[in-house]
Structure 1
């Protein structure tokens, strides 16, 4: 187990100073950030936060990017008001913090979001994109919700379910080569088992030289060596959604 001297491997990265374009709304017992495209759309993407919470500017930036590409984007507070992880916290306490914030225990909130999108926004096609904690959640939802048309799990794997390779929704998995949270042997095992057991379309892609969080927690303008990979991953994300939505 990690001790006080060991920093959190899930680094917050380049925290963006970003003024989001959408608005916060109340959905049943929790809040959500919603941003809509410039023209009417019946397609929506649920954006699932990382451990730093639904208000992280980087995550809202990704939601706004999806809206700029024609999707209604909604980023719910899946921690339901509980405090997100902080870079100042002791990593040895992470598992204790996680106990009441399991990415595989969000069905109640997901069902409420699906109802909101259908009833309040006229949505007919729904996809999911998640980062880190949200990448695990995205993988989880792809196992349970066949109505989800497409999923993009960005550095996240469900590890504890026996049925974790039996996807119901086409899913793209994006990983970083130098990820201390998800070693490459776990990625290889995921891909091998999906090849054997998965009945829907999937893709597993590893980005060379990158670290955990690179798609949304590295700013391409101040990381020139990483910029092509950041942009390529975001393009892959959009292409996957466009293909199945």
Structure 2
């Protein structure tokens, strides 16, 4: 695999403070959080695929709003049909049992609904996607501009991505990697680099020292190194989209 499956570090973290500006809606039976840019344009969209904490997590909503503040229409779906993993999971939560009900057979159709909605209901011209931890797998699985799916992809501390999935991408891909990450450790990062080199598609991997898996969403902002890495990873994503959207 190009990254390992989710583990304890995928649900541990710190809730961030801030006022969210998006709103909740429903798209063909899928609950979504949407956030508009100041000019209300939907030409350039970002599909936000979350970690296992889900779309109701304040941290994810604040990030979605930040993408909107940078000019993108953002859609963030409930990937888990009301069944996310609680932040800092309580005692007795069965992670292995949870995983069984939240694989590609359950997640891919939700992503398909969102992509169809962005193209057909909202009329978006270009769709980028961000995937944090769990969500990264589904950015990779749908990074197929040739099929009218995702045009440009960005991943932060990815999990559960297989080599075959990575080999199949057809669009530009950027990755933010953490120094201390046993889900996406050095050998998996290097494996991903080796695969991406062969594809003839633009790619970028930025490596952030002194931070752990989950830093881009759930890291403690009391640590200056984490705050800097989180902000830098976010700007990496924004710059990647601007480069490949041409906006």
TM over 0.5: yes
Q: TM-score range by the shorter chain?
A: 0.7 to 0.9
Q: What pairs with 1:16-27 in structure 2 (closer than 5 Å)?
A: 16-27=16-27
- Kindly tell me: are residues 38 and 151 of structure 1, through their superposed partners in 2, closer, same or farther at Cα, counting changes over 3 Å? same
CA shift, 1:104, in A, is: 7.0
Farther-moved stretch of structure 1 (119-128 vs 101-110): 101-110
Secondary structure of 2:167's partner?
coil
Partner Cα distance (2:9, 2:84) in 1? 19
- Kindly tell me: are residues 19 and 40 of structure 1, through their superposed partners in 2, closer, same or farther at Cα, counting changes over 3 Å? closer
RMSD: 2.3
- TM-score (ref. length: structure 2): 0.86
Q: Is there any run of 5+ residues in structure 2 with no aligned partner, and where?
A: 1-6
**Contact kept? 2:170, 2:201, Cα under 8 Å:** yes
- Give the match for residue 214 of structure 1: 215
Q: What pairs with 1:107-146 in structure 2 (closer than 5 Å)?
A: 107-142=108-143, 146=147
Farther-moved stretch of structure 1 (206-215 vs 146-155): 146-155
- Give the match for residue 241 of structure 1: 241
Q: Does 1:227 align with 2:222?
A: no
- Kindly tell me: are residues 186 and 90 of structure 1, through their superposed partners in 2, closer, same or farther at Cα, counting changes over 3 Å? farther
Partner Cα distance (2:39, 2:126) in 1? 16
**Contact kept? 1:139, 1:158, Cα under 8 Å:** no
**Contact kept? 2:52, 2:84, Cα under 8 Å:** no
Q: Map Cα deviations across residues 20-44 of structure 1 (whole Å, 9 max, x no partner).
A: 2011001112200001011032111
Farther-moved stretch of structure 1 (102-111 vs 68-77): 102-111
**Contact kept? 1:44, 1:123, Cα under 8 Å:** yes
Q: Does 1:15 align with 2:15?
A: yes
Partner Cα distance (2:190, 2:181) in 1? 13
Larger RCO, structures 1/2 (Cα 8 Å, 6+ apart): 2
Number of residue pairs aligned between Structure 1 and Structure 2: 237
